Structure 1
């Protein structure tokens, strides 16, 4: 292998002038451009499907895990399936447009009841006002410069309460729901705490989570991208393109004609273009050793300064269905919260509530947010089962007298898995001050000949799609189109 040298000190966007100046090089690529995609998540599968559909035959996907999907993780559980990663579909998204003709989605029509640790079920009107204030805070924050979420919330929350609740008892109760409000913001920002967080996941609140998968889960999207769902001769030939359990150890770039990709198992591959869809959490830990030579400083800066948070979903199976047709969210009062944090199951204070799963009658799903997720991921099943029963009795014991203890569970440890390191990207005060965003991460690293040599895809590279499969799919299409247009 010839010695690799850094040929570009800056990341530059690919442009048509560079192509025209290197016409002979482009011609050599037209015959059989070699493309390696690192990661078989939504971005990687989207990129590969676009390339294959456009006649690219030398496409390989290297996946570190033993499955495809990335942060899409559909599992059999209970009497149906559960999605331990991506779960909901927005109607105005690219995902919806891809799957809408297959009768896979339905509208979710389940009301949510909020229970306070001391006061029981909160009145729907009170909850609506409280959530409206969160909505107002969220959108006012867009105009607040150089302030992190935690500071902003502390400064504005009491002001909103004073202005919009009339009686002193209501104001007092609203203030005692500060932890509930924090959890709403942790969910939409994707962070484990509100310190340093500047932006939000996808620029909108509340999220429109009304469309759910009927029976097949988010895995259906991947099947449609690969045309497996059609079960026809048009199925794309992916079987020989995806290489599971093939973790990439080093990407050697900068040579005029080749990128060399070396895997932990000793295998190596050569490519003209490499699309990197590695999650931001993994890039943060690995980018200094993964790329040789090192990435340009601007690219390193965005990887290190963007935030990467996590949300943990745990699904529980109950021997009997004891609940009614509603979801349940929990709001800890300040005194009860402090007491619980000193107890045996302190981590349950990070539980947002319990939610029904479509077509799975004996299953409830809980969402955990906040800084205890790593601890929860390391807990043995029995501890989680006992903790779930404890928090259900704490909040719902006065409403349901027949709550049963769950007997089994399913989860996926996103933050503890070094191939992910979490699930959601977000902007921080540091990234804002550095002037970098997901769009910076998406900038192409080109070779001396002007070829787009290292391309980056994934939800973290799409500023308007942080934390969403929609952003991941769009990014995969974007980078595939970049290669297609280059090779024309």
Structure 2
């Protein structure tokens, strides 16, 4: 049997993709139905690009915004707060979540002002609140100095430093926090927000933090039984067909349980191959997979992404933030005004440090939440839940030696890092990156476009960052597909 000539093969490839160019409007495949993918889809739909398909690996939309039933109530495994409220600009997520956006989600303003009165010693009992208050006040003074210093640094990021380096410059615990109480306050101030310690977190990109600087200092805990994911469904329902009775999305353009494994891109179009060996063809593809997934080998690009793109992906950190829920037969912890959050000052930094009780949010549930991050998250994800439960209860018995602390009856440990469809919770911008690296990580490669919270220059790691990134990336694709403005300009590092 004769082999086809190279010329014939080329003609077949051209013919295969010629139909794409003659179709009515561009066809787009969106990979991932998290907030950024759903947001990008709406933006495309608003621009009258409706011939698209959303391929989602899991059995739901929402990505890292996900509720689950625990101890009789729906709790959030991932994003839980609307962060940045009551400031000079309106947070778009807050607009959707509160009554003005139509959802009117059940939310509670989180009050962290009383931590000095709720910081527990490693072996039990409370620290003197005036003692802890002085530590917090000194931390705030250093943060203000850091804000002033960050404002003097060159925009290229070449003078950037870690938050810890800034602390040392201010003679604030020059060798790092050593006492348990110093460690837990430092942890609350930084790791609890960024999921990574100050020694790896960029000063220039986090002090001041644009989310709070622009949208306001208040944060609201979402405790609605419809789930925080209602916001994602709210956006999706504006352009995807839904069942009026159930609210479920029934639009055939959304394909759940469809795992993308390979993206092949040509000058004339793209093909997307899924785990079940189906192949989808389009003019463009918008990849909204998490940074952790891009850093893994779940999705292969053919040809391989250029070195500048690969470097931009690997330069960023995919942090891990784990919210562990514990159910008890009865409550034994302090309640009342100013008692929602409490800290455990362990000699091991980050060991079950930040606790929250739900007297207001889930009354009568007898549920506690403890947050861990980074290495502790990875350690806990790899051990049995009963071991984690025993460790957490042992910490509570140390904190409250006079109380009859019962065994927990249930535990919920999200495993975002182990999950191949996420590989972490959210991105953290490391030292020395700036707008240049942001341009690179968002920049398209031919007909392959990228979005996600990690592509948000100012709001990475936040739900509003994912939402706005979807809009921004869709605009880049729209400019190319409809206006033929396809050149994506990346300014030089030192411009």
Per-residue deviation, residues 176-232 of structure 1 (Å, max 9, x unmatched): 5221133121222332x4443325565467963235343322111122112289975
- In structure 2, the residue corresponding to 1:121 is in which secondary structure? coil
The answer to whether 1:310 aligns with 2:308 is no
- Structure-2 change in CA distance of 1:238 and 1:439 (3 Å): farther
Change (3 A) 1:408 1:298: same
Counterpart position of 1:43 = 36
CA drift at 1:472: 0.3
Within 5 Å, give how 1:64-463 maps onto structure 2. 64-90=57-83, 91=85, 92-101=90-99, 102-108=103-109, 112=115, 113-118=118-123, 120-142=125-147, 143=149, 145-156=159-170, 158=172, 176-184=180-188, 185-191=190-196, 193-199=197-203, 202-203=209-210, 208-227=218-237, 238-256=250-268, 258-286=269-297, 290-323=300-333, 324-325=335-336, 326-332=339-345, 337=347, 349-356=351-358, 358-359=361-362, 361-398=365-402, 401-429=403-431, 431=433, 436-446=436-446, 453-463=447-457
Aligned CA distance change for structure 1 residues 141 and 421 (closer, same or farther; 3 Å) = farther
- Tell me what 1:487 maps to: 482
Note if contact 1:312-1:412 (Cα within 8 Å) is conserved in structure 2.
Answer: yes
CA distance in 2, matches of 1:424, 1:406: 29
Distance in 2 (CA, whole Å) between partners of 1:239 and 1:379 is 40
Residue 359 of structure 1 and its aligned partner are, at CA, apart by 2.4
Per the alignment, do residues 387 and 205 of structure 1 end up closer, same or farther by CA in structure 2, a change over 3 Å counting? Answer: farther
**Aligned Cα root-mean-square deviation (Å):** 3.5
What is the CA–CA distance in structure 1 between the aligned matches of 2:144 and 2:212, rounded to whole Å? 8
CA contact 1:197–1:428 (8 Å) conserved in 2: yes
Q: Any idea what SS the aligned residue of 1:445 has?
A: coil
For structure 1, the residue ranges without an aligned partner over 5 or more in a row are 5-24, 162-172, 342-347, 447-452
1:3-59 CA deviation, whole Å, 9 max, x = no partner? 79xxxxxxxxxxxxxxxxxxxx9x957823211111111111112233335543322
Count the aligned residue pairs.
433
CA, structure 1 residues 128+107, in 2 after alignment: closer, same or farther (shift >3 Å)? Answer: farther
CA distance in 1 between counterparts of 2:193 and 2:412 reads: 23
1:474 matched to 2:468? The reply is: yes
CA distance in 2, matches of 1:132, 1:205: 19
**Which residue number corresponds to residue 11 of structure 1?**
none
Change in CA separation of 1:103 and 1:242 when aligned onto 2, cut-off 3 Å:
same
Shift of 1:266: 0.5
CA change 1:137–1:160 in 2 (3 A) is farther
Q: Which runs of 5+ in 2 are unaligned?
A: 1-7, 12-17, 151-158, 484-495
- The answer to whether the 8 A contact 1:350-1:369 is kept is no
Q: Deviations over 1:316-375 (max 9, x none)?
A: 111112232323432426xxx26xx9xxxxxx7243224427125321111002312111
Cα distance change on mapping 1:241 and 1:123 into 2, 3 Å: farther
Paired with 2:125 and 2:464, the residues of 1 have a C-alpha distance of 37
The answer to whether the 8 Å contact 1:179/1:331 transfers is no
Larger RCO of the pair (alpha carbons < 8 Å, separation 6+): 1
- TM-score normalised by structure 1 residue count: 0.78
Maintained 8 Å contact 1:438/1:463 = yes
Deviation at 1:79, TM superposition (A): 2.8
Does the CA-based 8 Å contact 1:252-1:260 persist in structure 2? yes
Alignment TM-score, normalising by the size of structure 2: 0.77
**1:344: which partner in 2?**
none
Contact 1:114/1:329 (<8 A) preserved: yes
Output the CA distance in 2 between the equivalents of 1:57 and 1:2.
Answer: 32
